[in-house]
Structure 1
């Protein structure tokens, strides 16, 4: 069984199938609107992200970068680099011994443990000057600090004892513990304990917003404790950074919150959902001009909205025409108004124009995906009576699953079929519609399961059967019930009998598409695959054959 991809010049339409969507101007055009959902469900997303949680992916824990901390306290085991030049020359790496000293040849010992980093050079220089008054220059600095072991506890994903450098940042130690638990841990209050006492607190929002981290020197046995999560507010809608934001206060200025979430400059207001103690929810709209004077309760949800009404629509024009490729029209413009702006050529098939609509394409995609899921379920649950049949079924299943994978990549274009009788004054355009003007043709295209696919000069006396014969006749895998006559405007007719193939009118520019016979044992699977093939072929111009 093989997968054959044949790209054919099939004009886009929607088939009259239960799983396909057909829209004809001859029928009523209706727009299905989604039912109103509970306001709190709209505002709160199940996948809502906690602000800052994404930084803990292991990147910080992998690297330790040396940095200068003027307030670093020199400890036993640290390495001090010494450079002396002038009257005497010396280059040495000295380790701070258990007494807190380093030894300098020809100078003596100097106690450096407990000194801040920015005092080291001065202390060493003063010692050297006691023996050499002039013509000796000194440079001393911390080359390597002693590794320390720090406990990371509280609301982190992997509490434990972690080794690092005393100069490593709080972010690096938290990353070693796989990060803060976003559901229970606080990003605003992270305490460092030494001998049971809190000696420093970190607020990670300083790092998340401005990139600044408090400089702090860790020691052996220190504990980092991530406290319980404080007050939070969920933000969604027209923002660059949606998610849950944490605050230590219970009343938060709206501007502070929306600066963190980076509200869109186009936003016009916010919907605030607040949960009351009586179990009821209130929703209030606050316009943008009032944000400076608005405070939001912790636990609320905020949706940033942009309530603009479009007064214009953009219509894209492609195909056989001259002039503009984009028209800006009134929001309620009709096809008739568009026709007045389009500059047709003598080769334009203006009676066969096509409209591609995004809302229709989305519905087509939804229906196609649903049908593919049904087929996948049927294929995977079909049994076999014998071992030989099971082996055959396995090969069929692999081919059909590959077909399903390819079919899911198909993107319908949402064609609205416009019969010649269309009342252009009553056909209202939609935002981001695309209008395609076909070129007049004197050819008839024959594609699919025929011996020699190709183009033939149109002759008013020839039937579908004649064109098929000119193409070498039907192939061995041709499905005679699914021979399609596709007109330039995208409409499709099935020629499922020899009578139709002899008598159905063929016009210049038409295409004849012969679909393949599905060779599988399971009758329902064969029907479903055929239906999906038909749906894809007429909606996208691509024929996937098994």
Structure 2
């Protein structure tokens, strides 16, 4: 039978190799392409089967790789079939993880971060924000969240297709809404995930608690001060208006031509500049911007009444995702 040995851990090509005649630890490392820069040379481990009268047992042999690579007779031990060499990583070793700061920072750019470094630490390292910064409208994105967002979008598309097909087959006139549903499906499939993590940057910078631990690939966008309020959705004309603390949500909607027939006035909500969502209570419809919680950079969303989509339960979720994504993309498109 072929005799095999294995190497794992911090080598260039980990895997299983045939056992050559008189092969030693240094020979196995050479076959695996050598050790990586992150390999801990002071201590490695060879696991071996030892046959006894009662059967086979596992034993561990410690190896100084630095000496083994120099062909030291003590540590460059001869290998046996089924031996497994594990090359450890240097404790606390980490590759260069880069985070990018864009927009209104004193020193924007890419920064290499330490393990455990926080967002507030990095903003401070970058000299803080300029006087023109709008920290409430910051957009923080993360690669891991982008992947999760993409997965959730794919699931939503599948669920919505199934629900639409079911409605069109079981209800009269259902097919009339199928085309509209296909349009929104097309919009969702075209969405490029942003991977936004909603943060309150002023709070993070003011306090040492609840801070965000940074990861490689994170990006923080801080836009220039924005003194407008946007209105989108089921209104006559999607538009932006200068912020006025005496104007109510109804005033902004009126200035956009008013609502359309298919609007769901009971579910109007606001996407704040920070990315958080606030439902609008009916009592706040006529309140001034300050009383209604509106701030510069906020977006008022007037959604479609799901009754016009045959009460598709996933419709509101789909449209909300599209609006939220559009707001986030618009916030970072200027960088």
Q: Which secondary structure state, in structure 2, belongs to the residue aligned with residue 455 of structure 1?
A: strand
Instruction: Give, in whole Å, the separation in 2 of the partners of 1:532 and 1:508.
Output: 26
1:391 and 1:377, CA in 2 relative to 1: closer, same or farther beyond 3 A? Answer: closer
Aligned to 1:262: 33
Aligned to 2:194: 412
Q: Which secondary structure state, in structure 2, belongs to the residue aligned with residue 322 of structure 1?
A: coil
Partner of residue 313 from structure 2, selected from 507, 527, 532: 527
1:374 and 1:296, CA in 2 relative to 1: closer, same or farther beyond 3 A? Answer: farther
Q: Point out where structure 1 has 5 or more consecutive residues left out of the alignment.
A: 1-228
Aligned to 1:165: none
Compare the two structures and name the one with the higher helix fraction: 2
Instruction: Give, in whole Å, the separation in 2 of the partners of 1:537 and 1:476.
Output: 19
1:461 and 1:283, CA in 2 relative to 1: closer, same or farther beyond 3 A? Answer: farther
- Per-residue deviation, 1:537: 4.0
Question: Contact 1:253 / 1:295 at 8 angstroms: preserved in 2?
Answer: yes
Partner of residue 240 from structure 2, selected from 430, 441, 455: 455
RMSD over aligned CA atoms reads: 4.4
- Per-residue deviation, 1:440: 0.9
Aligned length: 307
- Per-residue deviation, 1:475: 3.6
1:428 and 1:383, CA in 2 relative to 1: closer, same or farther beyond 3 A? Answer: closer
Instruction: Give, in whole Å, the separation in 2 of the partners of 1:530 and 1:283.
Output: 59
Q: Which has the higher contact order (CA 8 A, sep 6+)?
A: 1
Aligned to 2:254: 469
1:400 and 1:340, CA in 2 relative to 1: closer, same or farther beyond 3 A? Answer: closer
- TM-score norm. by structure 2 comes to 0.68
1:465 and 1:288, CA in 2 relative to 1: closer, same or farther beyond 3 A? Answer: farther
Question: Contact 2:135 / 2:202 at 8 angstroms: preserved in 1?
Answer: no
1:377 and 1:304, CA in 2 relative to 1: closer, same or farther beyond 3 A? Answer: farther
Instruction: Give, in whole Å, the separation in 2 of the partners of 1:529 and 1:303.
Output: 53
Instruction: Give, in whole Å, the separation in 2 of the partners of 1:439 and 1:233.
Output: 60
- Per-residue deviation, 1:462: 0.9
1:326 and 1:283, CA in 2 relative to 1: closer, same or farther beyond 3 A? Answer: farther
1:245 and 1:338, CA in 2 relative to 1: closer, same or farther beyond 3 A? Answer: closer
Structure whose CA Rg is larger? 1
Question: Contact 2:11 / 2:39 at 8 angstroms: preserved in 1?
Answer: no
- Per-residue deviation, 1:325: 1.7
Question: Contact 2:141 / 2:194 at 8 angstroms: preserved in 1?
Answer: no
Residue 424, structure 1, aligned to residue 207, structure 2: yes
Q: Which secondary structure state, in structure 1, belongs to the residue aligned with residue 247 of structure 2?
A: coil
Compare the two structures and name the one with the higher strand fraction: 1
Residue 318, structure 1, aligned to residue 102, structure 2: yes
Instruction: Give, in whole Å, the separation in 2 of the partners of 1:397 and 1:456.
Output: 31
Question: Contact 1:239 / 1:263 at 8 angstroms: preserved in 2?
Answer: yes
Q: Which secondary structure state, in structure 1, belongs to the residue aligned with residue 278 of structure 2?
A: strand
Instruction: Give, in whole Å, the separation in 1 of the partners of 2:146 and 2:221.
Output: 15
Question: Contact 2:239 / 2:256 at 8 angstroms: preserved in 1?
Answer: yes
Q: Which secondary structure state, in structure 2, belongs to the residue aligned with residue 499 of structure 1?
A: helix
Instruction: Give, in whole Å, the separation in 2 of the partners of 1:257 and 1:393.
Output: 65
Q: Point out where structure 2 has 5 or more consecutive residues left out of the alignment.
A: 70-75, 331-335
Partner of residue 436 from structure 1, selected from 198, 206, 221: 221
- TM-score norm. by structure 1 comes to 0.45
Instruction: Give, in whole Å, the separation in 2 of the partners of 1:494 and 1:440.
Output: 24
Aligned to 1:485: 270
1:470-496 CA-partner distances (Å, limit 9, x unpaired): 11223455444553322222222123x
Partner of residue 502 from structure 1, selected from 286, 291, 295: 286
